[in-house]
Amino acid sequence: MIDYIKGEITRITPTYLLIETAGVGYFINISVTTFSKLEGKSEFQILVHEVIREDAHLLFGFADNEERDIFRLLISVTGVGANTARMMLSSLSPDEIERAILGSAVDILKGVKGIGLKTAQRIIVDLKDKLGKPAGGGEIFAFADNTKREEALSALVMLGFAKSTVSKILDKIVREEKNLTVEDMIKRALKNL
């Protein structure tokens, strides 16, 4: 599976970009959110999610991990395909989608083209527990280990643990000791899960 492609952006539109690396041009579907972050850039390392179907091999690109993570959560919901998730990320920022899900704001999700009442409700029901609540009730950690915490969080969520539970445990661990490696954070969190 391709994780990212680094190369020269040869063409960019609000819905796709062409990126050339090692003489190969890749057609990558993007959201308006990613487009706005890449405008004016000639080279970039774009994060990728592959969708392989019988009739097509599609690449979806993202400017950052937060957007790709929300995209992957959205496509895990029955009835939400990759293009619908991309449409959602073009209409709303990843933060707005997360807040809408956590706040059970059906109307915000329904406002996206292609999302009906039932789909919006299903997204909220399926993803509310996976997203959890923001760290410390909105508290922002202002130290260098925040990146390590995010890496540990991502790894534990990929192992199948609920994001909200893992986030609370990691917050506690980081408050107790700030100079831990990602590996140490994961080991300590696993003991508490």
pLDDT tens, 23-51? 999 999 999 999 999 988 999 999 999 99
Domain boundary among 131, 151, 182: 131
- Provide the CATH number for the domain around residue 77: 1.10.150.20
- % of the chain beyond a pLDDT of 90: 52
Looking at the structure, tell me whether residues 101 and 146 fall in a common domain: no
Domain boundary among 86, 106, 131: 131
pLDDT class of 192 with cuts at 50, 70, 90: confident
The total domain count for the chain is 3
Looking at the structure, tell me whether residues 21 and 57 fall in a common domain: yes
* DSSP-assigned letter for residue 136: G
* DSSP-assigned letter for residue 104: T
User: Could you identify the residue written with the tokens 């508490």?
Assistant: 192
pLDDT at 180: 82
pLDDT class of 58 with cuts at 50, 70, 90: very high
Range 126-130 average pLDDT: 86
Residue 169: domain span: 135-192
Looking at the structure, tell me whether residues 25 and 41 fall in a common domain: yes
Task: Confirm if 87 and 72 have CB atoms less than 8 A apart.
Answer: no
pLDDT tens, 139-175? 444 344 467 777 888 888 877 888 888 888 888 888 8
Domain boundary among 86, 111, 131: 131
- Provide the CATH number for the domain around residue 14: 2.40.50.140
**Whole-angstrom distance, CA of residue 100 vs CA of residue 126:** 13
Looking at the structure, tell me whether residues 116 and 81 fall in a common domain: yes
Beta-strand ranges (E) seen in the chain are 4-12, 16-21, 24-29, 43-52, 57-62
Looking at the structure, tell me whether residues 166 and 139 fall in a common domain: yes
Kindly tell me the burial class for residue 191, based on how many C-beta atoms sit within 10 Å of its own C-beta (0-12, 13-18, 19 or more).
exposed
Main-chain dihedrals φ then ψ at residue 2, nearest 5 degrees: -85, 130
**Whole-angstrom distance, CA of residue 120 vs CA of residue 48:** 25
Looking at the structure, tell me whether residues 25 and 46 fall in a common domain: yes
- Provide the CATH number for the domain around residue 167: 1.10.8
